[in-house]
Structure 1
């Protein structure tokens, strides 16, 4: 039987260390090869961005867990119709970004560094990348960002941890240990780290899109965020799963961003 401290360390490592999603210069997907690449330093980390150059309107793309900037390949043709400059960021411990550990507070710091550099007008996040966008907008509301789109984003960190513990058949007591870990290391109380609560503070316009058949992040999570975001519009999709790749959805997002 593992000592509680060792069990906590193992559980947090499993929860925060992505198993896939890393990239190297030698194995860059084609969609990322013909981009302007930059490396930024934040604390001891180096994170990577990829830019498809366009006009003065700028869109920042924020991917989710065990993914990387190449996940936006199917969305790019729709966004590029606007002529916008598009920037994608590799999350902590994902893509070409350094590190082994991922968490939302750190991701929000990376996002803020990119926001200061590129001054985007629009931010789009998928899955937990959407949660990080929401958290960033809550922490730093005074930016150039005017519109935000969240795709399949979880609301409550507590729910994510609960699901994770059940999925790995861990001792339910592990939740209490993980909760204390987040409070000690990130000054976050899980009861208060809620996308629904954060959304109440968001003043910009946005879209929350979620699929009824999402088996990774429950549909109810998206509904929680939408119900508390005054200027957020909820879009329900069917049979797209968690990836949310769909021509109809992308056209609706384009209309919201550029034709309203």
Structure 2
């Protein structure tokens, strides 16, 4: 019964939004956008609390709307900033943090809005990007490492802000095309074209770009620092074609394609690739 409910609930929500679009395309689009931007998980779990509490640092105010919780594991080496993915939090990096600590890196991470110990109820890439900019300006890292939506946010952040102190970027399992993500969203909820047109207008008005314009492929063309891109061919969350396209347009990037590691990319193999890359020429 539970599995059946999980399967049909998105269709019920989509049907409600479709009905709403009959009398107000704008209202239907706002509802669809709010659902799209609302994470169902990612808050700190009980078994994650102790690890994060030892490193809690500042809370930074972003856009006068959310307080972003930062974490710091101090070291005398280069500063590395870790950017987690959707429905996750800074704890996802704990194994990498242990390795980086042994190498004496100065490690910074933070919880995205509506995740971990940060405030807020929604998250989207533009909001995540402004949060990343606030954290980046405060801690001045030389290396960004992002996973999934955090990887795409890192790429968009560089495109938008061109930070001079960033020397290397690592992207793990990042998506690329908002248009492809929205097609999946439309399919899952069975939303009609009226709703999708309304969503596109809402995105244009709120962020200044259309759904089709938001492209990791295109943003990657602006990156002039070295980058490491890792993606698993069997990633069931984000298609491997996303990172292949980003790599094609990122002139100074190294691409590693794994097999059987999935979307999380937590494994020793991935950590070894990351450490080898960020230590090179440093």
TM-score range with shorter-chain normalisation?
over 0.9
Counterpart check, 1:167 vs 2:188: yes
**1:157 corresponds to:** 178
CA offsets per residue over residues 13-70 of structure 1, 9 Å max, x none? 111011111238x775332121142111122221100111111410011111111111
> Secondary structure, in 3 states, of the residue corresponding to 1:29?
helix
Does residue 1:58 correspond to 2:79, yes or no?
Answer: yes
Instruction: After TM superposition, list the pairs within 5 Å mapping 1:103-182 onto structure 2.
Output: 103-182=124-203
1:2 aligns with 2:2: no
Separation in structure 2 between the aligned mates of residue 176 and residue 79 of structure 1, nearest angstrom:
46
TM-score (norm 2): 0.87
RMSD of equivalent CA atoms: 1.6
2:66 counterpart of 1:45: yes
Q: Secondary structure at the match of 2:120?
A: coil
Match of 2:40 in 1: 19
Once residues 246 and 71 of structure 1 are traced to their aligned partners in structure 2, the CA distance between those partners, rounded to angstroms, is 12
Aligned residues of 1:162 and 1:175 also touching (Cα < 8 A): no
More helix per residue: 2
Q: Point out where structure 1 has 5 or more consecutive residues left out of the alignment.
A: none
User: Which of 186, 204, 208 pairs up with 2:225?
Assistant: 204
Cα deviation digits, residues 151-185 of structure 1 (max 9, x gap): 01011111111111112222244322211111001
Corresponding position of 2:254: 233
- In 1, Cα distance between the equivalents of 2:47 and 2:271? 28
Gaps of 5+ in 2: 1-18
Aligned mates of 2:30, 2:56 — CA distance in 1? 38
Question: 2:30, 2:202 within 8 Å by CA — same for their partners in 1?
Answer: no
- Indicate the residue corresponding to 1:35 in structure 2: 55
Whether the 8 Å contact between 2:29 and 2:196 is mirrored in structure 1 is no
Q: Find the aligned partners of 2:221 and 2:71 in 1 and give their Cα distance.
A: 32
Give the number of the structure whose alpha-carbon radius of gyration is greater.
2
User: Aligned-pair distance for 1:190?
Assistant: 2.1
Tell me how far 1:204 sits from its aligned partner: 0.3
Query: Which moves more between the two structures, 98-107 or 76-85?
Result: 76-85
Aligned residues: 259
Deviation of 1:242 (Å)? 0.9
SS of equivalent to 1:204: coil
TM-score (norm 1): 0.94
Where do residues 61-100 of structure 1 align in structure 2 (5 Å cutoff)? 61-100=82-121
Q: Separation in 2 of the partners of 1:18 and 1:168?
A: 16
> 1:215 offset after TM fit, Å?
0.9
Note if contact 2:85-2:149 (Cα within 8 Å) is conserved in structure 1.
yes
